[in-house]
C-alpha cells in the first residue's frame, strides 16, 4: 500500500505519541513496557517504528497508557500539527 505524504505524517505522529507516552510512564525500553502491559513486543515495536496500525489494536493500546481516548488524541493531534508545520516549511 502506498501512503500519501499526509498519511505518513499521521503514522509518524502516532508512533511519536506512543513513544512519548511510554517514556512518560518511565519506561526507557519499549520491551519492558510491552512485557509489563502484556502486549506482544513485536506488535508494539512496529507501532513505535511507525508501521500502520489497525483501529482495534489502537483501541487496546490506549488504555495501557493510563489515559483516556480524548487525552490520547489531543496528544496525537498536537504532534501531527507539529509535524505538518515542519513539513510545510
Asked whether residue 74 is assigned to any structural domain, the reply reads yes
Q: Which domain holds residue 74?
A: 5-82
Residue 28 covered by a domain: yes
pTM for this one? 0.91
Please choose, from the candidates 44, 46, 41, 48, the residue with its C-alpha nearest in 3D space to the C-alpha of residue 15: 48
Q: Is 26 exposed, middle or buried (0-12, 13-18, 19+ CB in 10 A)?
A: exposed
Question: Looking at the domain assignment, is residue 87 inside a domain?
Answer: no
CATH number of the domain enclosing 12 = 1.10.260
User: How confident is the prediction along the chain (89 residues), in pLDDT tens digits per residue?
Assistant: 788 999 999 999 999 999 999 999 999 999 999 999 999 999 899 999 988 788 898 999 999 999 999 999 999 999 999 999 999 98
Domain count across the chain: 1
| Cβ atoms of residues 9 and 80 within 8 Å | yes
Instruction: Examine residue 17 and state whether it is found in any structural domain, yes or no.
Output: yes
Give a yes or no: residue 76 inside a domain: yes
Amino acid at each position: 500500500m502506498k501512503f500519501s505524504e499526509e498519511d505518513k505524517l499521521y503514522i509518524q505522529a502516532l508512533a511519536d505519541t506512543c513513544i512519548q507516552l511510554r517514556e512518560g510512564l518511565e519506561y526507557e525500553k519499549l520491551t519492558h513496557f510491552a512485557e509489563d502491559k502484556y502486549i506482544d513486543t513485536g506488535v508494539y515495536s512496529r507501532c513505535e517504528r511507525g508501521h500502520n496500525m489497525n483501529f482495534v489494536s489502537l483501541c487496546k493500546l490506549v488504555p495501557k497508557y493510563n489515559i483516556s481516548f480524548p487525552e490520547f488524541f489531543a496528544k496525537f493531534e498536537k504532534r501531527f500539527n507539529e509535524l505538518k508545520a515542519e513539513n510545510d516549511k
